[in-house]
Structure formats: structure tokens, C-alpha cells
Chain A
Amino acid sequence: DGGITQSPKYLFRKEGQNVTLSCEQNLNHDAMYWYRQDPGQGLRLIYYSQIVNDFQKGDIAEGYSVSREKKESFPLTVTSAQKNPTAFYLCASTTISIMNTEAFFGQGTRLTVV
């Protein structure tokens, strides 16, 4: 089945530690996105990538980093510079075509700082 897979589902981070969230898709989508979801604030864009080896900052990129070495994969690293990383992180992908308006989402990773 085609889809988008995020792992792990739950992640705990100690203060000062970097952690990496995985996102893999087998939908052959060109564009991939990382969102952060906090209660009452909806989805906020962290980074997005429309092509391999290229990515752009979203609205809240500070304290995060990404890479796009393969079309299928778009990992997100939450660095120690991110002061309030506890949140629900969602990865999404889309095609880039005139007929498409659907973003496919993974099931999310809940990150908690301990």
C-alpha cells in the first residue's frame, strides 16, 4: 500500500539532546513537508522540500534542520537550539501538478522533553 510513514510514534528527548524524526513516502511525491501541531494553534510549517537536495524554511524553522538526499525520505532533526520542542510533529507529501490539492499525512510523532 502506498503511504507515508513516520517513526517513531513516541519520542522522548533529554534537555540539550538532538533527535531525528523519520519520514518516508512511497507515493512518488515530489514535495514533502514538516509541520508542528500544538493545541489550539493548528499546523505550523517547519520546512518543506519540492525537489531532492533542496529545501526551504517554513514559518518556524529555528531550532530544526532537515535533509532531502532521496525523493522518498525527509528526516527532521530537532536540535538543542529548539527551546520548546514538545509537540506533535506531522510529515506530509504532495505531488506538484496542476490537478492536485491533496496533502497526504503520516501518523505523526509525539516528541516529549524529559
Chain B
Amino acid sequence: QKEVEQDPGPLSVPEGAIVSLNCTYSNSAFQYFMWYRQYSRKGPELLMYTYSSGNKEDGRFTAQVDKSSKYISLFIRDSQPSDSATYLCAMIRNNYGQNFVFGPGTRLSVLP
């Protein structure tokens, strides 16, 4: 079993839809959870991070962590064509520059 599982998609939604992206993980030692966005042929960039169970909002984005179920989600409200990208979840055991473990990424297309 992989440490981090993520549906690779592709996922296509109409503009304005609410998007839900999810990852599950198997290692309960993970403490910090991140979502990265990667446009085609570019490096990933950090969207959001959280370290506790519950929700964290930033504009149209909400990150949700459920440590008891080992499940994290990213919600995108009022999705835009510019949100079309691959979304990678990532997690680390602690924040002393330790190794990140990435999900395979979900490719999202938001259609105008």
C-alpha cells in the first residue's frame, strides 16, 4: 500500500462548480498536510498547509483534515478556468525540513 493515495483524475467540471479533491494516507505519524498546485510544465507551488484536524479557509480554497480517518480534502469554490492544473497533496512527519511525501496528483480541468 502506498503511503499516500490520490485519485489521478482527470476531473472536468464547469466554471463556477465546487471542486472536491481528496487524499488518503496510511501513516499516522504524518503531522503536516499541504496542497500544491502544478501548472503544466511548471514546478509545484504551495496553495495551503495545515497541521490540525478541521478546516482552514483561504479565499475560494478550503483545506480539510480528518486525522482519525487519515483523510484530507481540498475544496475549491466558484472554480475558474485558471484553476485548471494538477493538484498534489503532500505531508510530512515533522517540519524540520524532513522529506515530503507527495500524492500522485489529480488533474483538474475547469471548462468555461
Contact = CB atoms under 8 A, between A and B. Distances in A.
A4 B45 CA distance: 12
Interface residues of B, number: 25
A42 B102 contact: yes
Interface of A: 4, 6, 30-31, 33, 35, 40-43, 45, 48, 50, 58, 88, 90, 92, 94-103, 105-108, 110
A70 to B, nearest CB: 18
Given A105-B43, A107-B42, A98 B95 contact: yes
Interface of B: 4, 6, 8, 32, 34, 41-46, 49, 51, 88, 90, 92, 95-97, 99-100, 102-105
B42 A95 contact: no
A50 to B, nearest CB: 6
B105 A42 contact: yes
